[in-house]
Amino acid sequence: MILNKRNQHKLPTTSVKGDFPVTYHYTAGIAGEKFFLALKDKKLLANTCDSCKFSYLPPKMFCEDCFDELDDGTYKEVDGTAELFSYSEVFYDHRGDKLEKPLLLGLFKLNGSSTIFMHNLLVSEPKIGMKVKVVWSEHRVGSIFDLKGFE
Ligand SMILES: [Zn+2]
């Protein structure tokens, strides 16, 4: 989900029950590779469009709002602090197998980014709008799991 100038309003929280079966292979691409390699060094990279000032985390090669190219000069490190935008309790893994213990997935609006980022929510009593910060894994390999989540 992306917040931009046209839809920056907040909607009431809702829930939807049902299946969402998706199987795919994902290629990180040039901007994604920079993002994942930076994770190994405990750095979260975003990039900002010079034309419209919209910021992306993870970074993009082109602005999805105004289609400008986002070159190397548009990248910056963000500090890993965020606001909890939304969250959900998850009972099944991506294969449909029941988890031993449910987990929380959060949508986070990181400081320095206009986009929403999904990862593990590591708090016991979440509240939408609460301030959180990134928690890094001890062993990092350039994967999304270099982050444990946000607390
Ligand atoms: Zn733009």
- For 118-140, write each residue's pLDDT tens digit: 999 999 999 999 999 999 999 99
Single pTM value for the model: 0.79
Question: For residue range 3-33, what is the model confidence (pLDDT) as tens digits?
Answer: 556 556 677 888 888 887 878 887 889 999 9
User: 54 CA distance to ligand 1 centroid (A)?
Assistant: 6
Question: Within 10 A of 115 (CB to CB), how many other CB atoms are there?
Answer: 20
Dist. CA 149 → ligand 1 center (Å) = 28
- Edge-to-edge strands of the sheet including 147-150? 117-120, 98-110, 81-92, 131-136, 147-150
If you measure from the C-alpha of residue 50 to the centroid of ligand 1, how many angstroms do you get, rounded to a whole number? 7
**Alpha carbon of 66 to ligand 1 centroid (Å):** 4
The pLDDT score that the predictor gives to residue 8 is: 64
Average pLDDT value for residue range 91-117: 95
Task: Please give the distance, rounded to the nearest whole angstrom, from the Cα atom of residue 17 to the centre of ligand 1.
Answer: 35
The Cα–Cα gap between 129 and 84 comes to 5
pLDDT for 23 equals 81
Span from the CA of 84 to the centroid of ligand 1 (angstroms) = 25
Cα of 74 vs centre of ligand 1, distance in Å, is 11
